[in-house]
Structure 1
């Protein structure tokens, strides 16, 4: 296991590194070795107050940030992306140590994040209003203005991409930010904070406060001077954020959990690409720690047994690629922590008890670290817990279906609505499914193809608002109508 130097462990406020007001620290753990990487300064309400104060000052009329040309904001974001690109190898090593994902996957995550920042850098001077042909002797127009101080709460499964998803549009629109990274994975956010200064952002524009959800996160959500909260994480926590943020009527955008369906039609079993897509983009992607993963794979009854056998073989092959995430052949790392591993194991046991058939994996790996074997369940029914609850681990459910109408109804029979997919050579099937399934993203003959240009977010209890694409700007803007009477 490679050793990685940890360079930043303090709270970042007003372009300065600070100790927590309370003096408390918390440990961040390497999930591969179960060993402590570093002690991090633990932010709580007092530290959030200081960060918000800095963000409010940076957003004041006449401040350096507010006086900056929109095109200059874009250049700053591009320079920020340049610095992340320069340090990509170190950041990937740091992410692998703190998160456990394979190093090659961490590199891919960061390249995706850089692309997102560059996309929004290009938008900075293209956000503008309209002239409006209003009735009466008036001249009316709209102005697009930043929301103000935005709190952003980042998850642990994709720490750098999720940070970029939120920083990019918020900065392009001219907001100031207080960011709380996940307590499990604070290290890359803190290193990226050091690049904020190097890029040339004015003090107070970006502030990063590591800490726990109920304390630092809770204080950010409830703070009266925070105008907006953006959160990516579990549906349960998303509900708390909506409730606790309602006292100040702040804007809230949520990207939450999923139990996404992928339909494999009968003509696709003989096609190698859909099989590979199913494996890579089902519940095994990122060790199952992906909200949009296709955890419910519906396979036509005529090919069901063949598909299950093939998928089990592929999962067993993946088991041989489990190990040290710094090794080049490793494709499957550990879960994020012991708590998450135990939750996953509990749901695996529920699947066994309710009658699902384990065809691969099904237990914790006999090695140090929070490793769970890639697990595949067959003979899964819609009523089982493993078919209804978000497991957020490498546990794949394969269900059987007969007709497209039936599978559409079953796909929609969930409280979630984040993503869906279908593998088919029939254009009519593709159009019918994509029009009928209730999900924010629908992929046809691919899966999890997320790009900076395409909006991402969910229906129902998978959240609301969108991130990425032009639509990702809307959550960070206010529309002001100006009407001038004419004589």
Structure 2
């Protein structure tokens, strides 16, 4: 059967065996109290499997095992070359199972299988390999001191890390955390979203097969008020790393203060501005990037270019090209390899996004393209590309993170106005500038309050550069060697040479 055929993936989906148990201390097991919750396919609107629902008891067991193996040194004190080989083996096993993992991701989230195959799973594998390669290439330092002293500066694994990851890129973002945390020698408890736990549970078994010692990686599926809160308040968790909503991020900071003041690293919301100047070098490329920047993954992307700022003189021309580009994103069956836009994560979230569309209309924005009219009809989880024009920065659709395929378009006339509009946000994750003027690009890049600034592209990059934002978009960085700093303690050793 053709790998690029819908029937191929439908047949694989019918034959798929889904792991539904927690993974604690090297083995799969049911939750201590036997609780389970349903995981649904948003495209088929059916229950895929019932998954074990972890709570405080299961978290305590996982943290205890993580601490024990960390102190014993099976992983934390193992030679860098051994940790490297193990993580490389895990990446190899993920590659061997890449179709299975991609299928799980698509069934779990409703994202197109073509994107799971092309982006999510290869990106997760690449992250693990990149950090595996970095393990034996990160050196300590010797400080410049007087001749009668030797000052060594070293980085040590911090201990037990809790990683809480969202549902939009479940495995990719998990590996952005697992890569540096495991490479540094820590033990990790991974808590996936209750809406998308399947790939996390699957790779736990692959990690054991790769040779990761028991207890170094546990996976606890469950809800925020159960497993998530138990991790954030646990006195023996040293670091909490999180990607998700700003509201939850704020609660995790409170939990840290109420418990052991654990380090909390947050990658939260975004409302990124994509700025198109009249001297944009290629309007068609900019429009294609703008469409992909908001409609890819159904707009469920923290770095999505949700605010489009267009110079007034090119507004009509640019919107016409953008409208044409938006037509290429038509919701369809996620298992069809031809589909480029799948479903939102579930019907409830789709309804919330629809409420923002209603709010935009109520506040006076112009609905230039209505995504509620799409080929899938009344299906509860589908929503097509939606574009509002004549948006003011005071409107909810311009200020709040919608996390759906809804674009807010605002015009400007001067460089300073564009800068003011872009920075007038509670968030500061990303921004983009489209211009031929190198000086303008540098001026804007320096003054934009965003952790990532893209010039004549939107959201390009790779594992070598850090990812994270300013203001209420969070703190710390994922990706690059900078991410390893989050999972290590910096130690100074001062030796007197008398």
Alpha-carbon distance between aligned partners in 1 of 2:287 and 2:379, rounded to the nearest angstrom? 31
Residue 338 of structure 2 aligns with which residue?
329
Return the offset for 1:271. Answer: 3.6
SS of 1:143 mapped into structure 2: strand
1:9-53 per-residue CA deviation (whole Å, 9 max, x = no partner) reads 000001101110111000001010110000000001000000001
The one of 327, 348, 352 aligned to 1:343: 352
Residue 434 of structure 1 aligns with which residue?
445
Report whether the alignment pairs 1:267 with 2:276: no
Return the offset for 1:448. Answer: 1.0
1:86-126 per-residue CA deviation (whole Å, 9 max, x = no partner) reads 11111111111111000010112111111111110111112
Structure 2 counterparts to residues 70-109 of structure 1, below 5 A: 70-107=80-117, 108-109=119-120
Report whether the alignment pairs 1:407 with 2:435: no
Return the offset for 1:310. Answer: 2.5
TM-score normalised by structure 2 residue count = 0.95
Alpha-carbon distance between aligned partners in 2 of 1:67 and 1:379, rounded to the nearest angstrom? 59
Residue 361 of structure 2 aligns with which residue?
352
Q: Is the 8 A contact 1:33 1:368 kept in 2?
A: no
The one of 143, 165, 185 aligned to 2:176: 165
Alpha-carbon distance between aligned partners in 1 of 2:279 and 2:290, rounded to the nearest angstrom? 14
Alpha-carbon distance between aligned partners in 1 of 2:186 and 2:404, rounded to the nearest angstrom? 35
Counting matched residue pairs gives: 483
1:378-408 per-residue CA deviation (whole Å, 9 max, x = no partner) reads 1111111000000000001111010111111
Structure 2 counterparts to residues 35-184 of structure 1, below 5 A: 35-61=46-72, 63-107=73-117, 108-135=119-146, 137-184=148-195
Q: Is the 8 A contact 2:312 2:413 kept in 1?
A: yes
Report whether the alignment pairs 1:287 with 2:298: yes
1:255-305 per-residue CA deviation (whole Å, 9 max, x = no partner) reads 000000010111338542222111111x21210000001100101101112
Residue 234 of structure 1 aligns with which residue?
245
SS of 1:249 mapped into structure 2: coil
Residue 311 of structure 2 aligns with which residue?
300
Return the offset for 1:76. Answer: 0.8
Alpha-carbon distance between aligned partners in 1 of 2:281 and 2:319, rounded to the nearest angstrom? 11
Alpha-carbon distance between aligned partners in 2 of 1:210 and 1:40, rounded to the nearest angstrom? 7
Residue 309 of structure 1 aligns with which residue?
320
TM-score normalised by structure 1 residue count = 0.97
Q: Is the 8 A contact 2:114 2:338 kept in 1?
A: no
Q: Is the 8 A contact 2:151 2:494 kept in 1?
A: yes
Alpha-carbon distance between aligned partners in 2 of 1:131 and 1:312, rounded to the nearest angstrom? 58
Seen in structure 2, the aligned counterparts of structure 1 residues 384 and 269 have a Cα distance that, compared at 3 Å, is farther
Return the offset for 1:309. Answer: 2.6
Seen in structure 2, the aligned counterparts of structure 1 residues 312 and 134 have a Cα distance that, compared at 3 Å, is same
Report whether the alignment pairs 1:388 with 2:392: no
Return the offset for 1:318. Answer: 2.1
Q: Which runs of 4+ in 1 moved over 4 A?
A: none
Structure 2 counterparts to residues 179-198 of structure 1, below 5 A: 179-198=190-209
SS of 1:80 mapped into structure 2: helix
SS of 1:299 mapped into structure 2: strand
Residue 449 of structure 1 aligns with which residue?
460
Return the offset for 1:362. Answer: 4.2
Return the offset for 1:134. Answer: 3.0
Return the offset for 1:136. Answer: 7.5
Return the offset for 1:66. Answer: 3.0
Q: Is the 8 A contact 1:308 1:378 kept in 2?
A: no
Q: Is the 8 A contact 2:295 2:329 kept in 1?
A: no
Residue 469 of structure 1 aligns with which residue?
480
Alpha-carbon distance between aligned partners in 2 of 1:200 and 1:287, rounded to the nearest angstrom? 37
Residue 3 of structure 2 aligns with which residue?
none
Q: Is the 8 A contact 1:94 1:187 kept in 2?
A: yes
1:232-277 per-residue CA deviation (whole Å, 9 max, x = no partner) reads 0000000000011113110010000000001011133854222211
Seen in structure 2, the aligned counterparts of structure 1 residues 15 and 159 have a Cα distance that, compared at 3 Å, is same
SS of 2:428 mapped into structure 1: coil
Report whether the alignment pairs 1:250 with 2:267: no
Alpha-carbon distance between aligned partners in 1 of 2:185 and 2:282, rounded to the nearest angstrom? 51
